[in-house]
Chains A and B, each alone.
Chain A
Amino acid sequence: MSTATTATPPKGGFGYRHPRARLAALLAAPMAWLVVVYLGSLAALFLTAFWTVDGFTGALVRTFTFDNFVEVFTTPAYLQTMLRTLGIAIGVTILCLVIGVPVAFFMARVARARWQPLLVALILTPLWASYLVKVYAWRAMLSPEQGVIAWFLAPFGLDSPGFGEFSIILTLTYLWLPYMILPVYAGFTRLPSSMLDASADLGAKGWRTFRSVIVPIIFPTMVAGSIFTFSLSLGDYITAQIVGGKVIMLGNVVQQNYVTNLPFAAAFATIPVVIVLLYLAAVRRTGALEKL
């Protein structure tokens, strides 16, 4: 009962008749940006890490060597900086989760529907302010004896934490909090209330519901937020310069060396790239990326 028919070429333009060419043309510009600009520059960075500089003139010496990586991994000071940066990035992520998830929950579930757009706008407003303005504001607040925080803690006999790792974590948390709150908020709005009702019907109290029902559902959004907070903190160097006192992070070492010793800075810079790739691979394992 099947009849074979020869298809007549559909009428229409070149793109319509050649879907593959249409696809290629559509993707050409973004692919050029991605491959040439983004991946190409990463490749150039990685390649430079295997070269050295002439001690006298500072010119690039293009002979392949592992010296830079050996130096990075055998100098205790640099290993310390890497671990410290990793610790700061993890600390910021955890703090953003601890503060961001309840705020997102409040915005999505507790606040009245009328207020939600306003709350979202308020969370987004700090993003309009310049990065430097915000960090310098924190520097003023954290100033020992004179800042707002010191003033606030004075009745308790305490002083502001001053400038150091803790202040870096505090400031970075403030900066990246909107990036954690928004995805989690989006996840919460998609959470069906029927789930919460069902959980209550089954006898689960608040914390149990949160742990067993809510978290698994919004887990992908928490992961999405954490990718922002983790990778942005890993590479940051300006905040450390302003509120870090004498503490420096991985990015500062790169910044200090990229003029006089570009290959060494490149070797150092490949480390956060590798860390983030490992992080993303781990995230992929949990299956969170599919569910986004």
Chain B
Amino acid sequence: MGPFEEQTGCKVNVKTFGTSDEAVKLMQGGGWDVVSASGDASLRLIYGGNVQPINMDLVPNYADIFPDLKMKSHNSVNGVAYGVPHGRGANLLVWNKEKVGDTVDSWSVMFEPDSPAAGGVGPYDSPIYIADAAVYLMATQPDLGITDPYALDQTQFDAAINLLKQQKGLVSEYWNDYLKQIDAVNAGTMTAATSWQVIVNGFDPATIGSTKAKEGATGWSDTWMVAKDTPNLNCAYKWLDWIASPEINQQATAWFGEAPSNVKACDIDPEQCATYHANEPSYWENVYYWNTPTEVCLDGRTDVKCVPYSEWSKAWSELRS
């Protein structure tokens, strides 16, 4: 931040938040110029009129962003880009080797009633987890026809909710604070859970296994967005270019524990890119970045209505009650 302030003369105030819901609330409240938003917040911000499209000609470092991160459905609408990609990561499957087995490669340990992890399952405590159930259904119930876990029509959505209700019997805890997860996994009360690479890096690989499940996984790809009516547009664009530069992108993503978005960052720290699979497009092929479900189906279907995020929230709330 210091070097940025020196070089540009823009003064930076930072506010950290813990969940996408908090991010949306902060941007709706106003007073903030830029936000790093996950996909389950970005579309809410775009459609809510809280952020503006970005003129990428004014962000030189955008040219070096990995091609498979540009113009995705969570950071662009109708060919208009709304932000600069930051870091990305996949939601991994972690398990207790002693209680569940040495090698596990499928989400079935978290969903099937006869799983050795029954009673110790730890799903992520957020409505967006419904997409993880949808990813599992893509493999186990292909006749439902799910192609995008964030574009679920009522039938597909109900199937996902039913799967989650069945899962609830196997759950020990839903986690939203990663410190709680670390504590629970190490204590052995959570024997199979979704997790993030940054958390996994802290586990002992001899006792806790981790992998990207074969059915695919949800993940996140954060986007730096600019508030709609910001008075500090120049500084905002300067920030976007700064944070997307190879050195800063590498540092910021390494600190959080995710793959960088700038190709040149891998020249600076090849090990980070290897750990987080930054340079492997095949790894990301079955990773479905968090997105904000809307009534207009995100997979392009026009013959049905999809379930919007507000309904996901209500359904999750009801499921948890």
Contacts and interface: CB of A to CB of B under 8 A. Distances in A.
A151 interface: no
Interface in A213-265: 241-242, 245-246, 248, 252-253, 256-257, 259-261, 264
Interface stretch (A13-21, A55-63, A87-95): A55-63
A69 to B, nearest CB: 14
A246 B321 contact: no
Given A56-B308, A143-B189, A259 B25 contact: yes
Interface string B166-185: 00100111101100100100
Contacts of B127: 256, 260
Interface in B280-321: 294-296, 308-311, 313-314, 316-321
Nearest to B24: A259
Name which of B48, B127, B168, B189 has the most chain A CB atoms within 10 A of its CB.
B189
A57 B47 contact: yes
Given A55-B295, A259-B24, A81 B321 contact: yes
Contact of B321 (A143, A163, A241, A253): A253
Contacts of B105: none
A246 B170 CA distance: 10
B318 A75 contact: yes
Nearest to A252: B320
Interface residues on B, range: 35 or more
A26 interface: no
Interface string A68-92: 0000000101101100000000000
B49 interface: yes
B320 A248 contact: yes
Given A58-B44, A259-B21, A78 B187 contact: no
Contacts, number: 80
Contacts of A53: 310
Contacts of A56: 47, 294-296, 308
B314 A257 contact: yes
B174 A246 contact: yes
A144 B44 CA distance: 40
Name which of A145, A241, A248, A256 has the most chain B CB atoms within 10 A of its CB.
A256
Nearest to A254: B317
A252 B309 CA distance: 18
B172 to A, nearest CB: 6
Contacts of B317: 253, 256-257
A146 interface: yes
B321 A146 contact: no
Contacts of A261: 310, 313-314
Contacts of A77: 318-319, 321
B313 A257 contact: yes
Name which of B295, B296, B313, B319 has the most chain A CB atoms within 10 A of its CB.
B313
A80 B317 CA distance: 13
Given A77-B321, A81-B321, A256-B316, A246 B310 contact: no
B173 A245 contact: yes
Contacts of B310: 53, 55, 58, 260-261
B321 A144 contact: no
Contacts of A256: 127, 313, 316-317, 320
10 contacts: A58-B24, A58-B310, A59-B48, A245-B172, A248-B321, A253-B320, A256-B127, A256-B317, A260-B21, A261-B313
Interface of A: 53, 55-59, 75, 77-78, 80-81, 139, 143-146, 162-163, 241-242, 245-246, 248, 252-253, 256-257, 259-261, 264
Interface of B: 21-22, 24-25, 44, 47-49, 127, 168, 171-174, 176-177, 180, 183, 187-189, 294-296, 308-311, 313-314, 316-321
